[in-house]
Chains A and B, each alone.
Chain A
């Protein structure tokens, strides 16, 4: 279990000082696939490097299984890293790379040999054991980097955008592979990525970061369906933003009045939204196209066919274009045409009131 409390990191001093991490509080559970998600420069890599020991936080505390980490150098932490560029030792073979950590821990040669053999099997690289790392492909280097970091059986494995250098097909395969390795080894994974889809498909929980702060922590479905802030809603998936008035708030549920005058039940963000004028977020696939007189009325501006689904762009007064996504069926008939007056509806409890 990793417990991070009040962690901050400021680079430099005076007017040029840059705050990379600001009061980070998070608890990562044992055997969890935990993802730090955010755009570049959000501090996710700095947070990862703080756990590894390459960055000394300015303040705060960091423990692994109750043991203080900040006073320890990287080589004394039960934590291993898979680097973005893999950082395999070019002067060693695949097997020597994988055995390096155990060798440094002073394990007997026989043990190193058997663990390296196990690791080579685990990542399906046994035939390549005696190759130099420059003689294997990018995907294979990725596997070796994973095996090298897993070999000393760390309590926590840190992964710094490990899939970003791979092509699309290989990345999909490695996502499944990583999930498999995590459940087989039972090691806590802390995974850094800027790819929201990668985060949603692999993680047990996700922390969305921006400008050195964690905006929201939750399971993939939680984060996707109920983003607490506009940034989270915007960064993960596509979202429609609608301005509304908050009428009442009670126990996570809110009543909001839409510009059309219709009222609908929505979810309150954690801690409440409080102010009267709010923004609500509705996912394109959570809304339906209906007859005028619905929650929002407008005019159909565009129909875009995507194969698996169709997007309807609806224009209504005083609001940004609202997108509705509908799954295509083989026998479906298109009832609507561009220029039609249409309505937009969604079920109570679907819309999310944003805290901004």
Chain B
């Protein structure tokens, strides 16, 4: 056996554990979900092994109970739209808050940066439920914000903030913020700050320095952070459930509903794949846009 073939074989051997785990834990279950989406729902949950495309119809369409005509499933479309909208809003707010935060930390003296990063990370290590309930405690009708505003006499009755899209967005923003700060901080820490001085020196105002030098240079971090926030927001389940109180369903809740009370596993499977498809489309758009930009500068 030639040395090259030997190396090649060793590589595959070393990859075996990773490939095994990927097959068992990712590809396998995914395949099961795809297969289930083409089966018939059992009466008490589970699936009946009869081929059917009903589940896929139900993702976007509704069969009328009496005359069996098809129409767009407004409820599902509303939930898709809300999921995408709230995820985009969460990503935007996380960037608007995360960018200055990362900038602040990256411009501290080197030995103090770890301390600030620790403060960002501590909530991230805390249980998701506890963090979500903490946000709830702040904005619920008897919560901190309403109590203070009423004590100050600024409002008569508490402002209803819980169980709104605002509450869901706030909850997701709080939960996913570290995922935005970390990658931006990483690219900013690598950034050469003498470039900022050079731009100031060459008559660029603060705003121009930000737009023409800092943002282009931290773009990889900003994009990575946006994906890291957008993708889990789209599939979020716990936060919309608590903060939305069942009124502001998102895709994650809809899927859970089909596997639980809905007893429609094929529809749940089809919705899961739809969610995956939305994420893939978003990622492809991102890759395309960054590729074309790279080509421009060649």
**Which A residues have a C-beta under 8 Å from some C-beta of B?**
52-54, 73-76, 79-81, 83, 85, 87-91, 93, 100-101, 104-105, 132, 148-149, 152
Contact = CB atoms under 8 A, between A and B. Distances in A.
A105 to B, nearest CB: 5
B192 interface: yes
B198 A89 contact: yes
Nearest to B204: A104
12 contacts: A74-B200, A80-B201, A80-B202, A83-B194, A85-B192, A89-B195, A91-B216, A93-B297, A100-B199, A100-B204, A148-B202, A149-B201
A30 to B, nearest CB: 21
Contacts of B204: 75, 100, 104
A87 B195 contact: yes
- Interface core residue of A73, A80, A87 (most chain B CB under 10 Å): A87
B194 A90 contact: no
B16 interface: no
Given A85-B194, A87-B194, A132-B297, A52 B201 contact: yes
Given A89-B195, A90-B217, A132-B297, A104 B201 contact: no
Contacts of B297: 91, 93, 132
Nearest to B203: A104
B201 A81 contact: yes
A75 B195 contact: no
B205 A83 contact: no
B197 A101 contact: no
A112 to B, nearest CB: 13
A181 B204 CA distance: 25
A54 B199 CA distance: 12
A93 B296 CA distance: 11
B168 to A, nearest CB: 37
A152 B200 contact: no
B213 interface: yes
Given A90-B217, A91-B216, A93-B297, A73 B200 contact: yes
A94 to B, nearest CB: 12
Contacts of A81: 197-198, 201
Interface of B: 192, 194-195, 197-205, 208, 212-213, 216-217, 297-298
Contacts of A79: 201
Contacts of B216: 91
A258 to B, nearest CB: 52
Nearest to A79: B201
Given A83-B194, A87-B195, A87-B198, A152 B203 contact: yes
Nearest to B217: A91
A100 B217 CA distance: 16
B194 A101 contact: no
Contacts of B192: 85, 87
Nearest to B195: A87
A54 B197 contact: yes
A83 B197 contact: yes
Contacts of A52: 201
A145 to B, nearest CB: 9
Given A87-B192, A89-B213, A93-B297, A104 B202 contact: yes
A132 B199 CA distance: 17
B222 to A, nearest CB: 14
A274 to B, nearest CB: 45
B242 to A, nearest CB: 42
B64 to A, nearest CB: 57
Nearest to B216: A91
A85 B199 CA distance: 14
A87 B213 CA distance: 11
A127 to B, nearest CB: 16
Contacts of A73: 200
A33 B8 CA distance: 63
A152 B203 CA distance: 9
Nearest 4 pairs of A and B residues by beta carbon: A101-B202, A87-B198, A104-B203, A87-B194
Nearest to A49: B197
A83 B199 CA distance: 11
A105 B200 contact: no
Contacts of B213: 89
Contacts of B203: 75-76, 101, 104-105, 152
B194 A104 contact: no
A75 B202 CA distance: 6
A76 B205 CA distance: 9
A75 B194 contact: no
Contacts of A93: 297
B30 to A, nearest CB: 38
Contacts of B298: 132
B201 to A, nearest CB: 5
B217 A74 contact: no
A347 to B, nearest CB: 49
Nearest to A93: B297
Nearest to A73: B200
- Interface core residue of A73, A81, A149 (most chain B CB under 10 Å): A81
Contacts of A149: 201-202
B161 to A, nearest CB: 42
Given A91-B217, A104-B208, A132-B297, A75 B200 contact: yes
A340 B201 CA distance: 62
A190 to B, nearest CB: 13
- Interface core residue of A88, A91, A149, A152 (most chain B CB under 10 Å): A91
Given A54-B197, A74-B201, 14 more contacts: A53-B201, A75-B200, A75-B201, A81-B198, A81-B201, A83-B197, A83-B198, A87-B194, A90-B195, A100-B202, A104-B202, A104-B208, A132-B297, A149-B202
Nearest to B196: A87
B204 to A, nearest CB: 5
A198 B208 CA distance: 36
Contacts of A132: 297-298
